[in-house]
Amino acid sequence: MALKFQKLSDHGEITFPDPPITHLLFSTTKFAWLFTAIRVYLGYNWVTASLHKINDPTWVQTGEALKGFWVKAVAIPEKGSPAIAFDWYRGFIQYMIDTGAYAWFGKLIAYGEFLVGLGLIVGAFVGIAAFFGGLMNWNFIMAGAASSNGLLFTLAIILILAWKVAGYYGLDYFLLPMVGTPWGKNHQTPQTPAPMRA
């Protein structure tokens, strides 16, 4: 069965058509309601996690809470497996401890979680908010904190894939066209070729 390609330019660029289910999920608004439910749930989780940290001086003033988490994560027990499975990541966290980065990084995490959650709840640049949320989940997992991070990371990936429609019932309905995608300014009407001269 031959694949059908649509040539975009004379430079050899081609478009690979999406499977119908992918097009239905991620390029139409038919399931925008589902992505709205996912992003509000995920956003609520980020906001509640952030408020706990924002109201805790050991997160946003001294960073001692984050330091404690990092010190526990880099520890190598005499028996059993360490929390961090990769030496390069352990070295990175140890560097952050040694340089006192926890003092400012605690603030970054606390307020970053809040901004990610807020962006997801109101549907503003959902793909970007989900990316940074997923990045935080990934870092927590790498540091050995499984908890709900695996589920939240998976939901973030789903929202990244659905970035065009996940905020359709939210501020992205207005924001994305303002930056030219996916509805509005970037849509071009096909041009009729000029008649050939004899």
pLDDT in tens, 115-144: 999 999 999 999 999 999 999 999 999 999
Look at residue 197 in the predicted model and tell me its pLDDT.
56
Q: Which residues 6+ apart lie within 8 Å of 177 measured at CB?
A: 183, 184, 185
Q: How confident is the model at residue 188 (pLDDT cuts 50, 70, 90)?
A: very low
Question: Is pLDDT at 8 greater than 70 in this prediction?
Answer: no
Q: Measure CA of the first residue to CA of the last residue in the chain; give whole Å.
A: 41
Cis peptide, bond prior to residue 182, ω within 30 of zero: yes
Contact 53, 59 (CB under 8 A): yes
Look at residue 7 in the predicted model and tell me its pLDDT.
53
Question: Is pLDDT at 189 greater than 50 in this prediction?
Answer: no
CA distance 27 to 165: 7
pLDDT in tens, 29-80: 999 999 999 999 999 999 999 999 999 999 999 999 999 999 999 999 888 8
Look at residue 147 in the predicted model and tell me its pLDDT.
87
β-partners of residue 7 are 14
The mean pLDDT value for 6-24 works out to: 76
Look at residue 187 in the predicted model and tell me its pLDDT.
47
Structural tokens at position 178 = 């303002």
pLDDT in tens, 80-112: 889 999 999 999 999 999 999 999 999 999 999
Average pLDDT, the chain: 89
Q: Give phi and psi for 117, each to the nearest 5.
A: -60, -45
Look at residue 100 in the predicted model and tell me its pLDDT.
96
Question: Is pLDDT at 191 greater than 60 in this prediction?
Answer: no
Lowest mean pLDDT among 24-33, 138-147, 181-190: 181-190
The mean pLDDT value for 179-195 works out to: 57
Question: Is pLDDT at 193 greater than 90 in this prediction?
Answer: no
